[in-house]
Amino acid sequence: MRLERRDGERIDRSRAVSFTFAGWRITGFEGDTIATAAFAAGKRVFSRSFKYHRPRGLLCCSGHCPNCQMTVDGVPNVRVCTEPIREGAVVEGQNVRWSLDFDFMSLTDKIGGPFTPVGFYYRTFIRPRAAWPLYEKFLRSAAGLGALDPHAGHTRRYDTEHRRARVLVVGGGAAGRAAALEAAQAGPGVVLVDEDPRNRDLALPGVEVLAPARALGIWEGGLVPVDADTVLYRFRAERIVVATGATEQPLVFPGNDLVGVMLPDGVRRLIGDYSIRPGERAVVLGSDDETLAIADELMDVGVEVEKVVDLRDVRPRELSAQGGKGRVRRLVLNGERYGCDLLVASGGRQPAYSLLAQAGARVEFDDSLGVFVPTELPDGVEAVGSVTGAGLPRIAPEPAYEGKGKCFVCVCEDVTTKDMKRAIGEGFDSIELAKRYTTTTMGPCQGKLCHLSSIRVYAEETRMFESAIGTTTARPPWAPVELGLLAGRELTPTRRGSIHWRHQEAGATIQWAGPWKRPYAYGEHPEDEVRAVHESLGVIDVSTLGKLLVEGREAVQLLERLYPSRFGDMKPGRIRYGVLTSDGGRIMDDGTIARLADDLFYVTTTSTGADAVTAWFQWWNAVWAYDAEIVNVTGALAAVNLAGPRAREALGRLVEDPDDVSAEDFKYLDAHELVVAGVPTLALRIGFVGELGYELHFPSPAGEHLWDALVGEGARPFGLEPQRVLRLEKGHVIVGQDTDSESNLYSAGMSWLPKLDKDDFVGKFALEHFVQREEKEQLVGFTMEEDVVPAEGAQIVVDGMPVGRVTSARHSEAVGQVIGLAWVPGERSEPGTRVEIQVDRLRRGARITDGAFFDPSGARMRS
Partner 1 sequence: MALSEIFFPKRMWRPRPELKRRYEVVIVGGGSHGLATAYYLAKRHGITDVAILEKSYVGSGASGRNTTIIRSNYRTPEGAAFYGESVRLYEGLSDKLDFNLMFSQHGHLTLAHSDRAMITMQERAEVNRLLGIRSSVIDPPRIAELCPELDLSQRPAYPVVGALYHPPGGIIRHDAVVWGFARAADSRGVEIHPNTEVTGFARSGDRIVSVETSRGRVECGQVVSATAGWSSLVGRLVGIRLPITTHILQAFVTEPVKPFLDVVLVSSQLHVYVSQTDRGEFLIGAEIEPYTTYKSTGTLSFLEYSAAHTLELLPQLERAKVLRTWTGLCDLSPDYSPILGKTEIDNFHVSTGWGTYGFKAAPIVGVTLAELVASGRTPDLIAPFAMERFHTDTLVSELAAAAVSH
Within residues 599-658, the interface with partner 1 by CB under 8 A covers none
Measured between its terminal Cα atoms, the distance across the chain in Å is: 97
Question: Among 638, 417, 651, which Cα is nearest to 537's?
Answer: 651
Nearest distance, CB of residue 858 and partner 1, angstroms: 28
Please state the three-class secondary structure of 257-282 as a single string.
Answer: CCECEECHHHHHHHHHCCCECCCCEE
Question: Among 106, 92, 69, 102, which Cα is nearest to 19's?
Answer: 92
Task: Kindly state whether residue 740 participates in binding partner 1, applying the rule CB under 8 A.
Answer: yes
Contact 135, 64 (CB under 8 A): no
Say if residue 171 is exposed, middle or buried (CB neighbours under 10 Å; 0-12, 13-18, 19+): buried
Task: Kindly state whether residue 75 participates in binding partner 1, applying the rule CB under 8 A.
Answer: yes
Task: Kindly state whether residue 577 participates in binding partner 1, applying the rule CB under 8 A.
Answer: no
Residue 841 backbone phi and psi in degrees, to 5: 70, 5
Residue 719 one-letter amino acid? G
- E strand map for 718-812: 777-784, 795-798, 801-812
Residues in 710-739 at the binding interface with partner 1, rule: CB under 8 A = 736-737
Stretch in the footprint of partner 1 (CB under 8 A) among 125-133, 254-262, 622-630, 651-659:
125-133
DSSP 8-class letter at 115: G
Size of the site for partner 1 (CB under 8 A): 103
Closest to partner 1 by CB, 14 vs 494, is 494
Among 84, 125, 166, 272, binds partner 1 (CB under 8 A): 125
Residues in 78-107 at the binding interface with partner 1, rule: CB under 8 A = 95
Residues in 800-859 at the binding interface with partner 1, rule: CB under 8 A = 800-802, 805, 807, 838, 841
Residues in 465-484 at the binding interface with partner 1, rule: CB under 8 A = 473, 475-477, 480-484
Residues in 324-353 at the binding interface with partner 1, rule: CB under 8 A = none
Task: Kindly state whether residue 132 participates in binding partner 1, applying the rule CB under 8 A.
Answer: yes
- Over the window 766 to 805, marking each residue x when it contacts partner 1 by CB under 8 A and - when it does not, the resulting string is x--xx--x--x--------------xxxxx-x--xxx--x
Among 8, 14, 42, 152, binds partner 1 (CB under 8 A): 152
The CA-CA-CA angle for residues 610, 614, 616, to 5°, reads 115
Among 12, 87, 136, 659, binds partner 1 (CB under 8 A): 136
Stretch in the footprint of partner 1 (CB under 8 A) among 145-153, 348-356, 388-396, 693-701:
145-153
Q: From the CB of residue 161, how many other CB atoms can be counted at a distance below 10 Å?
A: 12
The rounded distance, in Å, linking the Cα atoms of 384 and 177 is 10
Closest to partner 1 by CB, 24 vs 219, is 219
Residues in 358-417 at the binding interface with partner 1, rule: CB under 8 A = 358, 360
Among 121, 465, 619, 624, binds partner 1 (CB under 8 A): 121
Buried (b) or exposed (e) across 29-56, using 16+ Cβ within 10 A? bbbbbbbbbbbbeebbbbbbbbbbbbbb
Closest to partner 1 by CB, 331 vs 485, is 485
Among 144, 391, 701, 845, binds partner 1 (CB under 8 A): 144
Nearest distance, CB of residue 392 and partner 1, angstroms: 26
Nearest distance, CB of residue 567 and partner 1, angstroms: 28
Closest to partner 1 by CB, 1 vs 797, is 797
The rounded distance, in Å, linking the Cα atoms of 444 and 553 is 64
Question: Among 243, 217, 214, which Cα is nearest to 231's?
Answer: 214
Task: Kindly state whether residue 463 participates in binding partner 1, applying the rule CB under 8 A.
Answer: no
Torsion angle (degrees, nearest 10) of CA 665, 669, 674, 679: 150
- ω before 128 within 30° of 0 (cis)? yes
Nearest distance, CB of residue 282 and partner 1, angstroms: 32
Work out whether the CA dihedral 645, 647, 652, 658 comes out positive or negative. negative
Closest to partner 1 by CB, 156 vs 653, is 156
DSSP SS3 for 312: coil
Task: Kindly state whether residue 162 participates in binding partner 1, applying the rule CB under 8 A.
Answer: no
Task: Kindly state whether residue 153 participates in binding partner 1, applying the rule CB under 8 A.
Answer: yes
Among 14, 185, 368, 492, binds partner 1 (CB under 8 A): 492
Residue 676 one-letter amino acid? V
Residue 277 one-letter amino acid? R
Task: Kindly state whether residue 206 participates in binding partner 1, applying the rule CB under 8 A.
Answer: no
